[in-house]
Amino acid sequence: MYMKELSVSDVTELQKICVDTFYDAFATYNTAENMSLYLDRQYNLEKLISELKNKNTYFYFIFDDDHGAVGYLKLNTADAQSENTFKDALEIERIYIRHAFQNQGLGEILYNIAKTKATLLGKKQVWLGVWEYNQTAITFYQHYGFEFAGSRTVHLGDAPQIDLLMVKHL
């Protein structure tokens, strides 16, 4: 396994893993229409290119030698964060691992990259939002010392859903 920080030249591969992993994680819980709306809005090439160009956003791939990119990480600071609730913080917006590679320690590797980036940037907190019914992710983050810090409503297509906000003080 090895890591790579992404640039605009990686946008096509990024789009593919974004769509694939999000679909695998949430398609069974949502309508096809809402999934399509969400994927089209969140993972279109223009939006991803803009995010890759943002100096306050960081993307990383984790690669397997035989299978290419098997997971990715998206981090945000400053005005790139999806909420302005947490000051002097780094947001873990996404940690996604392809289904076949889950439960192999890759999430821990990606989380450690996020924690290291936060430390290098002098951030006092790391925070994230996690779907209220994603108990596996909630347990993962609690294991690393994250605590609940509120909630927010997000829309997957036209369906409102609740994300629990979790924070870890560094």
Quick one: tokens of 50?
């803009």
Exactly one of 29, 96, 141, 144 is catalytic; name it: 141
Strand partners, 32: none
Cβ pair 130, 166 in contact under 8 A: yes
Of the candidates 61, 53, 80, the residue with the CA atom closest to the CA atom of residue 21: 61
Cβ pair 41, 19 in contact under 8 A: no
Q: Indicate if 141 belongs to the active site.
A: yes
Quick one: tokens of 81?
């964060």
Name the residues annotated as catalytic. Answer: 141
